[in-house]
Amino acid sequence: MDFRKHSFKILEALALPVLVIDRDYRVMGANRAACRLFCLSTEDIVGRQCFKIAHQLDRPCWHEGTGCPAKTAFELREQTRVIHEHSHGGKTIFEEVTASPVFDDNGEVEFVVEELNNVTELIQSKEIAGHLRKDIKTLQGLLPICSRCKDIRDEEGYWNQIENYISDHAEVHFSHSLCEKCTEELYGQEKWYIKMKKKRENRDKES
């Protein structure tokens, strides 16, 4: 099978929204998931610059102090990830944008493929800790735990990741997120995080 010939079909089959962006930051292709995300048709997306679609800006997002994964992928010639605050259909969400460079036959970056993954719930959710505090009570006794990697030794002497062990011994399943300390260390200087933190502080004051 000629995968290049069927590349558009492959793009359409992906569940995550995907954009193909050229060096002028114009969208060369968008799959159905991207059209649903932006509430736009393919014709309304292709040919427009990505910052006008995702950020409703008239100039590239890095001029607003936001790290641009497409720009970084073009310049560093490697995959990069960043979390952006986007507004789609009147709703503000946080998305992890993964930008991957695609090279031509001469080894130059021809365009960048961006995947957009909605991580709003992972960033804002505080429910996982509450569920753990409730369900972890079903575990009893002493748990041999490695002081370095935090793996737990089971009854048969095998070492298991803590998530796997607890899932096997309690009515709980893990969904990974970031604690406030780690979120602060990773994104404390990002404009979107500072804005979100101020909103949260104002909301807490009002309540």
pLDDT of residue 85: 84
88 or 83: which leads in pLDDT: 83
Q: Kindly state the average pLDDT of the residues 174-181.
A: 68
- In this predicted structure, the answer to whether residue 197 has a pLDDT above a threshold of 70 is yes
The one-character DSSP state at 36 is H
Q: Do 13 and 69 belong together in one domain? A: yes
Q: Is the model's pLDDT at 90 over the cut of 50? A: yes
Question: Does residue 134 sit within a domain?
Answer: yes
* Other C-beta atoms lying within 10 Å of the C-beta of residue 173: 11
Domain assignment of residue 84, yes or no: yes
pLDDT band at 34 (very low <50, low <70, confident <90, very high): very high
Retrieve residue 31's tokens: 């799959």
My answer on whether 51 and 63 are in the same domain is: yes
Indicate whether 31 belongs to any domain: yes
If asked whether residues 144 and 200 sit together in one domain, one would say no
Question: Residue 50 has what pLDDT?
Answer: 93
> Does residue 11 sit within a domain?
yes
Task: Give the residue among 205, 163, 200, 167 at the shortest CA–CA distance from 183.
Answer: 200
Mean pLDDT, rounded, for 152-180? 69
Q: In terms of pTM, does the model score above 0.85?
A: no
- Indicate whether 197 belongs to any domain: yes
Closest CA to 33 of 116, 109, 123, 94: 116
191 in the same domain as 104:
no
Name residue, tokens 């979390």.
Answer: 83
From 14-23, 78-87, 93-102, 139-148, the region with the lowest mean pLDDT: 139-148
Query: Are 29 and 118 in a shared domain?
Result: yes
Higher pLDDT, 178 or 33: 33
Q: Does residue 2 lie in a domain region?
A: no
If asked whether residues 96 and 146 sit together in one domain, one would say no
Same domain, 132 and 111: no
Lookup: tokens for 30? 């968008």
- Looking at the fold, whether 86 and 44 belong to one and the same domain comes out as yes
| Residue 175 pLDDT > 70 | no
Rounded CA separation 103/109 (Å): 4
User: Is 1 inside any structural domain?
Assistant: no
How confident is the prediction for the chain on average, in pLDDT?
Answer: 80
Q: What CATH number corresponds to the domain at position 50?
A: 3.30.450.20
For residues 148 and 183, membership in a common domain is answered with: no
Same domain, 13 and 76: yes
| Residue that finishes a domain, picked among 88, 108, 123 | 123
The reply to whether 53 and 95 lie within a common domain is: yes
Domain co-membership, 30 together with 85? yes
Note whether residue 21 is domain-resident.
yes
Q: How many domains does the chain have?
A: 3
pLDDT range class, residue 16, cuts 50, 70, 90: very high
Residue ranges making up the domain that contains 65: 7-123
Predicted confidence band of residue 63 (pLDDT cuts 50, 70, 90): confident
